[in-house]
């Protein structure tokens, strides 16, 4: 049985028309689901009983099972069990501009980035649309707050689960749904070129972030196997095309790894790679994990790297560090739960 949280607004309109009902009932359902946050059709008091019976026959109300919650300074990490007993994470970060949720898109990940805990443990399956939507709804219910910003940067590669992710974006961005503004939503990809080309055709103003992490094909291929399929020499021109088509600035995420990609030489090469591109670079201090050899760059190294980019007129920020004490790095809490 299909989850009601899998249904985009347009899907519901089509459903009601096929049932010889008025399509405005989609708005009624969305209002109950995403504004009033009810969790049964029987609670939808403006629907006729025979329609409620039909809806109960056609759709389920799925839930996520919270199995762990870690609270830190300005951050809470959640561990959820799915209906097939797989486990995923979501991370809530409290910023001065609002409450931002980092959402997972897959159980595990096949991209195999050498610095990532999720990539160490392979992809089990894609998350369904409702399993992404429910990360938001469940955490809003637990914490009694509204999530204003969403980043698809949790476990998984979003563009490896493209259809479900796009439906998720349609639901949370819809004015009748969770009404999270497009410019408050960011999708992160390691650079799957065909899906970036598809994504730029969508009528969204959603932000695109690229997991870059190295300024040369040689180093990036060592850190990120995806670069062998979609190298920088092919990726960068496509990103320039994306910017021209969408008129949107791209974010480049760059995790700083001690003595690997954090040198002055690398900072200069990164400046050259991104010269003239409408972008900004988000420098990310590394969250160390016991399973992976990489170490966090020293603070003075990070600041030097930042200064070089600034001097080369690259827009750059250093991401505020969140959740080292709650294992907030992607996949850490899941690994601890499943591996002990």
Domain annotation for the chain: domains and CATH numbers: 2-60 (1.10.150.530), 65-339 (3.20.20.70)
Q: Taking the C-alpha atoms of 259, 327, 115 and 127 in order, what is their torsion angle to the nearest 10 degrees?
A: -160
Residues classed as catalytic: 89, 330
Distance CA 171, CA 6 (A): 9
Closest of 305, 238, 296, 242 to residue 271, by C-alpha: 305
Read off the pLDDT band of 308 (50, 70, 90). very high
Give the DSSP H or E segment for 238: helix 232-246
Least confident residue range of 170-184, 237-251, 324-338: 324-338
Compare 334 and 113 and report the one with higher pLDDT: 113
Read off the pLDDT band of 332 (50, 70, 90). low
- In the sheet that 185-189 helps form, which strands lie side by side, from edge to edge? 65-72, 75-81, 87-95, 98-102, 149-152, 185-189, 207-211, 250-256, 279-285, 315-318
Read off the pLDDT band of 293 (50, 70, 90). confident
Residue-level pLDDT at 326:
52
Report helix, strand or coil for 118.
helix
Strands 106-107 and 98-102: unpaired
Whether 16 shows a pLDDT value over 60: the answer reads yes
User: Could you tell me the pTM of the whole model?
Assistant: 0.93
């Amino acid at each position: 049985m299909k989850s009601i949280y899998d249904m985009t607004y347009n899907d519901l309109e089509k459903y009601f028309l096929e049932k010889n009902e008025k399509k405005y009932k989609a708005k009624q359902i969305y209002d109950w689901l995403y504004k009033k946050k009810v969790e049964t059709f029987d609670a939808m008091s403006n629907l006729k009983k025979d329609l409620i019976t039909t809806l109960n026959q056609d759709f389920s109300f799925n839930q996520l099972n919270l199995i762990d919650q870690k609270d830190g300074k300005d951050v809470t990490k959640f561990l959820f069990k799915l209906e097939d007993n797989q486990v995923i994470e979501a991370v809530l970060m409290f910023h001065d501009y609002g409450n931002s949720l980092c959402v997972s898109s897959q159980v595990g990940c096949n991209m195999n980035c050498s610095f990532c805990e999720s990539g160490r443990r392979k992809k089990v399956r894609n998350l369904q649309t409702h399993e992404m939507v429910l990360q938001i709804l469940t955490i809003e219910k637990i914490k009694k707050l509204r999530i204003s910003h969403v980043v698809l940067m949790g476990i998984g590669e979003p563009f490896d689960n493209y259809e479900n992710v796009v439906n998720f974006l349609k639901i949370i961005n819809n004015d009748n749904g969770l009404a999270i503004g497009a410019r408050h939503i960011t999708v992160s990809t390691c650079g799957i070129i065909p899906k970036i080309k598809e994504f730029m055709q969508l009528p969204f103003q959603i932000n695109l972030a690229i997991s870059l992490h190295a300024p040369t094909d040689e180093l990036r291929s060592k850190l990120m196997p995806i670069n062998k399929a979609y190298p920088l020499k092919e990726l960068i021109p496509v990103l320039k095309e994306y910017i021209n088509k969408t008129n949107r600035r791209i974010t480049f995420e760059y995790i700083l790894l001690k003595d690997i990609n954090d040198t002055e030489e690398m900072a200069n090469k990164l400046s050259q790679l991104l010269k003239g591109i409408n972008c900004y670079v988000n420098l990310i201090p590394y969250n160390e994990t016991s399973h992976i050899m990489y170490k966090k760059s020293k603070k003075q190294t990070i600041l030097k790297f930042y200064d070089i980019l600034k001097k080369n007129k690259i827009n750059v920020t250093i991401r505020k560090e969140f959740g080292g004490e709650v294992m907030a790095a992607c996949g850490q809490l899941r690994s601890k739960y499943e591996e002990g």
